Structure 1
Amino acid sequence: MRHKERYTSSHALNFQNKFHLSRFGEYLQSIDEWNLGRSPAEIIAEKEGQIKILKEQLQRLMDDRREAEKLETDYPINIASGYVLTVVDLFKKIETLKVGDKELVFSQMPITWAKMICRYFQEDGEPIKLDRVRRYYPRDPSKPSGGSSAIPSENQHFNIVPAKRRAS
């Protein structure tokens, strides 16, 4: 661009035009799908950087997957036929246990218990459906919704009581 006199009356208009042209150039670069405004070396360098980042991300994900697979099992715990709700009742009772004034176990979301039961337990060799267990774990136990239920009394076979302290 040739040199423009800065003290003329059209200087403000020239400055504004330069600004609009530079913004338009930035816009064109942002939609340049075919990389027409860049050299092959720039394109290759950018792509190599992206490949490096993706390889590092892939390695992290593969490491995370290996760690997660260590916890997986092909042998879930089998519950006798008809006693799934008894096991659910036991977990509900475990949720309420306290050691001193602290909760023994705590889950931010109650559905975690239902997912754990469905993932690691089976009933008579068959998977347990999440929808069957979910209704016993309402989102807010203090305000159960219409879709939630209490464990029927005929499935409440056990009580968990604290052990008596033994003299040392």
Structure 2
Amino acid sequence: MAFYLKSNPDDEENFFNYVYDIVTNRIKHFKRLDPFSEKYASGLVYIPKLETFVAFLKTIDQWHKTQAIESVISDKNKLIDQLQKRIIELESQLKEATKYDTIEKIVIDKSGLPVFIHLLKQFQRLTLPNDNKLTRSQTQSPWYKMIAKYFQHGENNIPIGTAQNYFPSQKDTDFTKYLNIDEKDKLFEIVPIPKKK
């Protein structure tokens, strides 16, 4: 087959059909031999070998050459049923995944992205009176994905890579790859209200 495909690229199906026809025709030939002829006994030796090879060909038959048309139709119908069920599942998943999508995004002032991110970073550090974190996530991805999906910077969308640059994945990450927030952009400080006595 490799030799044939060098001269006839993308023609594997024709090669398969050619080989399959040769083998099945030889099986028919040996089975049609006169039982009383001298060649009959030697032909019986080849039939099991050829049938074994046909069984192998069936396992690599991508074109249904070795199947009866009824079997092919049955297989195709099963595949269609499976695909229709999968489409219903995927449509349901898509509907669930997009039900919180909005057409409009929240606009951050065109000079305010670092200011806004400084506030979000403060949210990550806030604790409640019971010492539990107000917000928590195992990774930083929900934060930067939320920014890219629901906010825009002035009139522009925020690329996910830009948002990600503000959120190192690990505390001990090399911060030279990430954007630092300048002191001039740290305009707000979230502080707890003192407890009333």
TM-score, normalized by the shorter chain, greater than 0.5: yes
Return the alpha-carbon distance in structure 2 between the equivalents of residues 146 and 101 of structure 1.
32
1:86 is the counterpart of 2:115: yes
* Counterpart among 4, 12, 33 of residue 62 in structure 2: 33
Q: Report whether the alignment pairs 1:131 with 2:161.
A: yes
* Gap change, CA 1:101 and 1:29, over 3 Å in 2: farther
Name the % identity. 25
Relative distance call for 1:69 and 1:132 in structure 2 (3 A) is closer
1:138 touches 1:148 (CA, 8 Å); kept in 2? yes
Amino acid at match of 2:104: Y
Can you list the C-alpha shifts for 1:28-66, whole angstroms capped at 9, x where unaligned? 112213322222221111111111110011011111222
Match 1:42 to one of 68, 71, 76: 71
* 2:58 match: secondary structure: helix
Partners in 2 of 1:30 and 1:163 — Cα distance?
A: 73
For 2:192, the equivalent position in structure 1 comes to 162
- Tell me which of 135, 146, 155 is aligned to 1:116: 146
Q: Which position in structure 1 is the counterpart of 2:171? A: 141
In the TM superposition, residue 20 of structure 1 has moved relative to its aligned partner by 10
CA contact (8 A) 1:111 1:138 kept: no
Given candidates 46, 59, 65, the residue that maps to 2:88 is 59
Distance 1:103 1:117 in 2: 21
Residue 102 (structure 1) aligned to one of 129, 132, 137: 132
Query: Which residue identity does 1:140 align to in structure 2?
Result: Q
- What SS is found at the alignment partner of 1:146? helix
The residue that corresponds to 2:6 in the other structure is none
> How many residues are aligned here?
153
- RCO comparison, higher one (Cα < 8 Å, 6+): 1
- The 3 A distance-change label for structure 1 pair 36 and 84 is same
Shift in CA distance, 20/85, structure 1 to aligned 2, threshold 3 Å: farther
What RMSD, in angstroms, separates the aligned Cα atoms of the two structures? 2.8
What secondary structure does 1:103 align onto? coil
**What stretches of structure 1 of length at least 5 have no aligned partner?**
1-13
